[in-house]
Amino acid sequence: MGKPTGFLEFDRALPQKEKADARVQNYQEFVKEYSAEQLHDQSARCMNCGIPFCHSGCPLGNVIPEFNDAVYDGKWEEAYQILISTNNFPEFTGRICPAPCEAACVLGINKSPVAIEEIEKHIIEIAFRNEYVKASSTYLKTGKKVAVVGSGPAGLAAAAQLNKAGHDVVVYERDDKVGGLLRYGIPDFKLEKTVIDRRVDVMKASGIEFRTNAEVGKNVPAAELKDFDAIVLAGGSTIPRDLPIKGRELKGVHYAMEFLKQQNKRVGLSTFEEQDILATGKNVLVIGGGDTGSDCVGTSNRHGAKSVTQFELMPQPPQKRTDGMPWPTYPMLLKTTTSHEEGCQRHWSISTKEFLGDDEGNLRAALIVDLEWETDHLGRPTKFKEVEGSLREIPCELVTLAMGFLHPQQQGLLEQLGVEFDVRGNVLATEGDYQTSVNKVFAAGDMRRGQSLVVWAISEGRECARKVDEFLMGFSELESKDKAV
Ligand code: FAD
C-alpha cells in the first residue's frame, strides 16, 4: 500500500478547469492536469481495502488499488500495464465515464471518494507520452476472419481483443470517420477527437482494417459478411425517442443528435448536407436531463445562445440515498455536469404539451405544465399529475429532443441477417454469451443492452470478443473481467 495514512492526510482534489466564460469560446477540452505532487497525494488516498468494492463498481473490473499503488510509487509503466489489463481505452473512460467506481469507493462513506477517474486519465496520458502505448504484433495468426459492424467503443474493444487473439479483423463503419458516439455524439469539449485518432492509429498499426463510409445492409451487402468466420454487431442504439405532440413539425424542433452530430462534424472539418442547426442568438430549450441533454446545453452556450433552459420530466433526484445504503449518491444520481456550470436554467417535473409556431412555421414557444409526483416508500417517483393552473408558454426558437434512444435501427442489416430482437427492440443475445439467434453472429454494446455508457460498451466488446474467440478456437486466453490480474 502506497501510504497507509494518506486518506487521513489528504482531501480529494480535482484538477483545475478553465473558467466557464473562457472555455465556452471554443470546443477544446478544458480540464487541466494535476501537478506531480497532486497526483502523488491523490493516489495516496486509496485505502487498499480488504474488499475493494471499486473493482465490482467498475463494469470493466478495473484493479484500482493496484494501479493507485503504482502511481504513488511513480511506477508509470506498471500502472499502465495494470490499467490496460482490464480496459482497452482508459483515455475515453478517464475523460467521460460517470465513474461508478467512485460511487463504490469505501472512502466515500465518510469522506469524498478517491479521484479514480482522473488518476486513470493521467496514467494513460503519461503512457502515451512515454511511448508505452505501442502497436501490438500477434505472431501467431489463427487464419480466422472476423467482421465487426460499428466502430463505437464496443466495436473498437471487440476488434482490439480479437486482433490480440490472432484473428484478422475488419471493422465496418457507416460514418466517414471511426468512433461511433465518441466521434459524433460526445462533443469535443468532453473528448477531443485527436484522442480517438491517436488510438485508431495504434489499432491500424496493430493490423486491424477499418472500412469507413461502409453501411452494412445498404452500400455493403450483408451477404458480404458470409465470408467471415464470425460477425460482431456493435451498431449502437440509434433510434431516438420522439415527442409527438402538436407542433413537432415546426422549423426549429430537432433531435439532439441532429444538432450534436453537425457540430462535431464542423469541429472535425467533415462535411454534411443538412441545413445548419445553430443556437446562436436563440432561446434554446433542451428536453431531457441526461448526458445527451447536457451536451446540447454545452454546445448551445458555445454557439452563443441567448438563453438555455433544460427540462426533465422526472423530479429532481434526492440529495441523499433513500434506500438505506451508506454509500454516497455521488456521482451517479446527482448528475450536474460541467455544461451546467456554463449557464443553464434547469427545471425538473415539467411536461411539454405543445410547440407553438409563427405564421411561417417557425418555432416561437413551448407550452409547458408542472408535474406533481407521487413517490413510493423509498422515495422513488411512481405516478404524476399535472399541477392545476401551471400551464404556461416559454419562448424558444430552438428545441433539442434529448429523451434517450429506443433501440437500434432494425431495417437494413439486422433484418437482412434475420436476428431476433428482445422486448425492447434490441438485438437478442444474453449478457455473458453475446450469441444472437443467428449462428456465428454476436452482438455487444448499446445494440444489445440498449442505450448505456462507454464503460459498458468497452466491457461488452471485450467479453463478447472472448466468446467469439472461444467459438472459433474452442478456448480463449483473452482476459475476462472475472479473471483480472
Ligand atoms: P455507438 O457508439 O453508438 O457506435 C455504433 C456505431 O455503429 C456508429 O458509429 C454507427 O454509425 C455504426 N453503425 C450502425 N449501423 C451500422 C451498419 N449497418 N454498418 C456500419 N456501421 C454501422 N456515455 C458515457 O459513458 N459518458 C458520457 O459522457 C456519454 N455522453 C453521451 C453523449 C451523447 C450525446 C450520447 C448520444 C451518448 C453518450 N454516452 C455517454 C453513451 C455512450 O456514448 C454510448 O453508450 C456508447 O457510445 C455505446 O457504444 P457502442 O459502441 O455500443 O455504440
- Residue with CA at minimum distance from ligand 1 atom 53: 236
- Dihedral through CA 89, CA 94, CA 98, CA 99, nearest 10? 90
Are 111 and 7 in contact by the 8 Å Cβ rule? The answer is yes
User: In ligand 1, which atom is closest to the CA atom of 292?
Assistant: 34
Say how far residue 423 (Cα) sits from the centre of its chain: 23
| 106 Cβ neighbours under 8 A, 6+ residues apart | 47, 49, 52, 53, 54
Q: What is the pLDDT of residues 291-305, one digit of tens each?
A: 999 999 999 999 999
Nearest C-alpha neighbor of 379 from the set 330, 317, 290: 317
- Residue with CA at minimum distance from ligand 1 atom 18: 216
Ligand 1 pocket test, pick from 186, 270, 462 with the greatest ligand atom count within 8 Å of Cβ, gives 186
- Residue with CA at minimum distance from ligand 1 atom 33: 292
Which residue carries 446527482 as its cell?
334
Ligand 1 pocket test, pick from 97, 172, 241, 454 with the greatest ligand atom count within 8 Å of Cβ, gives 454
Distance in Å, CA 150 to ligand 1 centroid = 9
Task: Residue 169: count other Cβ atoms within 10 Å of its Cβ.
Answer: 27
The single-letter code of the amino acid at 391 is: L
Taking each helix axis from N to C end, the angle separating 116-129 and 36-44, rounded to the nearest 10 degrees, works out to 130
User: In ligand 1, which atom is closest to the CA atom of 445?
Assistant: 52
Quote the pLDDT of residue 394.
97
pLDDT tier at 89, thresholds 50, 70, 90: very high
> Is the ipTM value over 0.90, yes or no?
yes
Q: What is the pLDDT of residues 39-54, one digit of tens each?
A: 999 999 999 998 999 9
Q: What is the pLDDT of residues 392-404, one digit of tens each?
A: 999 999 999 999 9
Q: Spell out which residues line ligand 1, taking CB within 6 angstroms.
A: 96-97, 149-155, 172-175, 180-182, 185-186, 190, 214-217, 234-236, 260, 291-292, 295, 412-413, 445-447, 451-455, 457
pLDDT tier at 326, thresholds 50, 70, 90: low
The single-letter code of the amino acid at 37 is: E
Q: What is the pLDDT of residues 220-269, one digit of tens each?
A: 999 899 999 999 999 999 999 999 999 999 999 999 999 999 999 999 98
Distance in Å, CA 237 to ligand 1 centroid = 7
